[in-house]
Amino acid sequence: MHSTNRNNGAKLKNLHTFSFLFRSGRRYLSFFILLGILFVFSSVIIIKIFLSDDLIIESRTFDPQPYIGLRQTLESKLPKGTSIYHVTKEFGVATMGGLGHVVTALAQGQAMNSQYNVKVIMPAYSFLKNIVKLQFHTLLTIKIQNKYGKWEDIKFLVQKMRWNASENFNVLSDQPPRQRDLYIYFIGPAINHSPLDLAFDASDALHIYSTKPGLSQECMNLYFCKAAAELITYLDKYPETPLFARVDVKGVDVVHLHGATNAFVVDFLKELYIEDQYSKPPPPIIYTLHDYLEEQLYSTLLVNYKMFKNNTNDDDYLKYIHGRRFYPSALAIDNSQIITFVSETMAKEMVEGSLNFRAKELIIPSILNRASQGLWVGISNGVDFTHFNPFDDMLLLETDSHFPKNIETFDYERFIEEQIDTSTQDLVIDAKFRAKYHLIKEGLLDVNDLNRIIVLYIGRFQYNKGAEFFIPAAETLAALDAKFIVMGQQNNFPIEKLKKLQLKYPKNFELIDDLEFQNNWGILYRAAADIQFVPSLTESFGLIAVEGLLFGATVVSTGVGGLKEFLVNKSESNIRHNSYLFELVNGHYNDPSVEGMKRALTAVINDYKQLNNSLHEKEIIIRDLIKDALKLNWNRPEGPLDQYFNVYNLVVRSRRKKILRKKPFWFDDNLMRLNN
């Protein structure tokens, strides 16, 4: 019996042991299953992050340093016969936005100096064949790696045309503008490669950045950059002198790259100019950043870059690679001879630390390095008044709404002595009244708008242009019985919100988003406007604000970035002003910023209502606004044309005779070192 009890006890003990082991096993099994799930989940996350195109970069702070800028000025001028080549995606009729207007005006202005040869390299967009006549120049070849890792010869056609550049400075003169020829070289699509044979297929200027199915935008940009580098080396080796040229062309003296999409030209040129391949050193490169919101973010998949470049695994490239993507803007900053930005104020703020912007970590280390050498230069843009202006536009002339050209010759004493209705001089306020009247006559404005203050916004409907301010601005202006007109193109701000404003304030808010309508009637709205609304969160230069001044409109704005270079806020200390500025608190749209905007709009509307009772004063104020705009032309003394010629002079005269392949730039360090 005792034996039986012992056996039962042993069985019970074994049962407890088995139960314990079973429970422990389940716990361990659950643990390992959970561990496996976590491993798989984390692996998926890691793979997803690696394969994601989202930029992941560590936030950094940078020590500010003094801005040197362009302090060195050579006594001698840029040598006669210097050849300047602008490389751009936009130019002339193939212009989609501000970049094209800036490059076109800059090249036009430079071409007016007959001592230099100014030329342009750009894509041969398909729609151009219906507008201009191109002639054959040469057939060139580049190498591209196929999917099997073998390098293939890709042929492409280069065409050219002689473009009639017109002087863009004095719009007040009745004399015809001076003209001079400017050559444009057009790089065509690949002849023997698919899908690069689809490159630059665009129905109009609005689609120059679009691509056909099967061809990515990144590959098309890389193709253009490599082809442009090949063309530059060809033109440098085999220069051509026009038949009636005043000076001989000696090849390519300066390459001026515009925008991050052309940054890869720097690298492809560096690859072509290897030791002893050419009898002379490579041409110096000027790289211009045209904005600080998008250009540093431009990138391409590394796998796409490897199709065109055979040494992308070099350690020198690692700092430009983030995840699967290559960011070329810093590459161009590091390897160009001088880097410029389109606003002197903002160029200074970037290195002195007061300007904060998205993903600055991508380019600020490179900018600070070049700035310490005096090779980071801010050159504020000019304005091309021939693009459109209130003096010569055909629609304004047809409607008798064109502004008088007596801006500089106006007799103020005689004007004060005379009655407005019997003035012996043509007045701007009369032209603006006729523009508004014609819009009413065409049914484009309400008859009651004749006595309303018109506030005009022009531009893309996007957040960084201050689109969030539209809603409180519409509310404020409706309460003041002013007319708020928003004219532009849809972007990342929901257009439905603007359409709701039109329904909510039918008498005081108007949305114009039809591009054809804007092209046909937009200039009349500009001429009729009293106030230009520029609520931008960021601005490199502020072209719309300048154009507002040119059309006699006071500017209401945040005054950020390059705007502060020419906008003068109304205050007790400023006798003369051209704007009503409100603070962008903490750099964002928020309640304090909105309250400041409401105060600025209320003040300007009330002031304009008083001016309508003092037309002599109103005429004088409007003329001062126009004068402020005219001061910003490209050819102003010590302005952008003079500064760019000075930059070119510095790099041309310091060009070395021996190529130092491993150096980021090829110049006489003693000459390039600035005297502080």
Q: What pLDDT, on a 0 to 100 scale, did the predictor assign at position 166?
A: 79
Domain containing 232 equals 83-383+643-672
Polymer length in residues for the chain: 676
The Cα-based distances of 367 to 76, 331, 354, 670 in angstroms read: 28, 11, 14, 21
Take residue 357 and report the two structure tokens written for it: 């912007």
Give yes or no: residues 401 and 430 share one domain. yes
Dist. CA 37–CA 276, nearest whole Å: 59
Summarised one tens digit per residue, pLDDT across range 554-591 is 999 999 988 999 999 998 666 789 999 999 998 789 89
Q: Look at residue 40 and tell me if it is in a domain.
A: no
**Burial group, residue 607, by CB count within 10 angstroms (0-12, 13-18, 19+):** middle
Whose CA is closest to 233, among 189, 273, 279? 273
- Residue 667 near residue 651, CB atoms below 8 Å: yes
Q: What pLDDT, on a 0 to 100 scale, did the predictor assign at position 622?
A: 97
Instruction: Provide the pLDDT confidence category of residue 669 given band limits of 50, 70 and 90.
Output: very low
For residue 33, how far is the Cα from the chain centroid? 54
Give yes or no: residues 432 and 538 share one domain. yes
Q: Look at residue 489 and tell me if it is in a domain.
A: yes
Q: Which residue has the higher pLDDT, 278 or 211?
A: 211
**Cβ partners under 8 Å of residue 300, min gap 6:** 218, 221, 222, 325, 326, 328
Q: Look at residue 197 and tell me if it is in a domain.
A: yes
Take residue 72 and report the two structure tokens written for it: 């060195």
Dist. CA 5–CA 1, nearest whole Å: 6
- Averaged pLDDT of the chain: 87
Collapsed DSSP state (helix, strand, coil) of residue 461: strand
Instruction: Provide the pLDDT confidence category of residue 225 given band limits of 50, 70 and 90.
Output: very high
Q: Catalogue the long-range contacts made by 665-674 (C-beta closer than 8 Å, 24 or more residues apart).
A: 665/284, 665/335, 665/336, 665/337, 666/281, 666/282, 666/284, 666/337, 667/284, 667/337, 672/373, 672/374, 672/375, 673/373, 673/374, 674/68, 674/71, 674/72, 674/373, 674/374
Summarised one tens digit per residue, pLDDT across range 181-210 is 899 999 999 998 999 999 999 999 989 999
Q: Look at residue 45 and tell me if it is in a domain.
A: no
> Peptide bond preceding 282: is omega within 30 degrees of 0, i.e. cis?
no
Q: Look at residue 50 and tell me if it is in a domain.
A: no
Summarised one tens digit per residue, pLDDT across range 236-274 is 988 876 555 555 556 899 999 999 999 999 999 988 876
Q: What pLDDT, on a 0 to 100 scale, did the predictor assign at position 659?
A: 37
Dist. CA 582–CA 600, nearest whole Å: 6
Give yes or no: residues 266 and 241 share one domain. yes
Q: Look at residue 34 and tell me if it is in a domain.
A: no
Give yes or no: residues 379 and 400 share one domain. no
Cα dihedral 267, 269, 275, 278, rounded to 10, equals 180
Rounded average pLDDT over 343-351? 92
User: pTM score, two decimals?
Assistant: 0.84
Q: What pLDDT, on a 0 to 100 scale, did the predictor assign at position 635?
A: 85
Give the sheet arrangement for strand 483-490, strand by strand.
509-512, 483-490, 454-461, 531-534, 554-557, 579-581
Query: Where are the alpha helices (H) located in 512-667, listed in sequence order?
Result: 515-528, 543-550, 591-611, 615-630, 640-653
Give yes or no: residues 419 and 313 share one domain. no
At 454, which helix (H) or strand (E)? strand 454-461
For residue 582, how far is the Cα from the chain centroid? 24
Whose CA is closest to 354, among 46, 546, 67, 82? 67
Amino acid at 434: R
Give yes or no: residues 318 and 288 share one domain. yes
> Does residue 276 have a pLDDT over 50?
no
Dist. CA 629–CA 550, nearest whole Å: 5
Whose CA is closest to 553, among 455, 633, 449, 473? 455
Give yes or no: residues 471 and 332 share one domain. no
Give yes or no: residues 614 and 653 share one domain. no
Q: What pLDDT, on a 0 to 100 scale, did the predictor assign at position 429?
A: 97
DSSP 91: B
**Cβ partners under 8 Å of residue 108, min gap 6:** 165, 166, 167, 168, 182, 384
Instruction: Provide the pLDDT confidence category of residue 70 given band limits of 50, 70 and 90.
Output: confident
Q: Enumerate the β-bridge partners of residue 132.
A: none
Dist. CA 291–CA 496, nearest whole Å: 28
Q: Look at residue 72 and tell me if it is in a domain.
A: no
Q: What pLDDT, on a 0 to 100 scale, did the predictor assign at position 75?
A: 59
**Cβ partners under 8 Å of residue 267, min gap 6:** 309, 328, 331, 335
Q: Count of domains in the chain?
A: 2
- The two beta strands, 179-190 and 151-166, are antiparallel
Q: Look at residue 5 and tell me if it is in a domain.
A: no
Give yes or no: residues 619 and 658 share one domain. no
Give yes or no: residues 91 and 198 share one domain. yes
Burial 309-335 (b: 16+ CB within 10 A, else e): beebeeeebeebebbebbbbbbbbbbb
Give yes or no: residues 408 and 552 share one domain. yes
**Residue 438 sits in a domain of what CATH number?**
3.40.50.2000
Dist. CA 273–CA 282, nearest whole Å: 6
> Does residue 387 have a pLDDT over 80?
no
Give yes or no: residues 524 and 621 share one domain. yes
**Cβ partners under 8 Å of residue 351, min gap 6:** 64, 65, 66, 67, 367, 368, 371, 376
Instruction: Provide the pLDDT confidence category of residue 141 given band limits of 50, 70 and 90.
Output: very high
Dist. CA 514–CA 647, nearest whole Å: 41
DSSP 672: H
Dist. CA 15–CA 398, nearest whole Å: 106
**Cβ partners under 8 Å of residue 67, min gap 6:** 347, 348, 351, 352, 371, 376, 378
Instruction: Provide the pLDDT confidence category of residue 518 given band limits of 50, 70 and 90.
Output: very high
- Span of 140-154, 365-379, 484-498, 659-673 with lowest mean pLDDT: 659-673
Whose CA is closest to 295, among 540, 91, 536? 540
Instruction: Provide the pLDDT confidence category of residue 551 given band limits of 50, 70 and 90.
Output: very high
Amino acid at 505: Y
> Does residue 50 have a pLDDT over 50?
no
**Angle value at C-alpha 466, between 460 and 469, nearest 5 degrees:** 120
Q: Enumerate the β-bridge partners of residue 287.
A: 257, 339
Instruction: Provide the pLDDT confidence category of residue 275 given band limits of 50, 70 and 90.
Output: very low
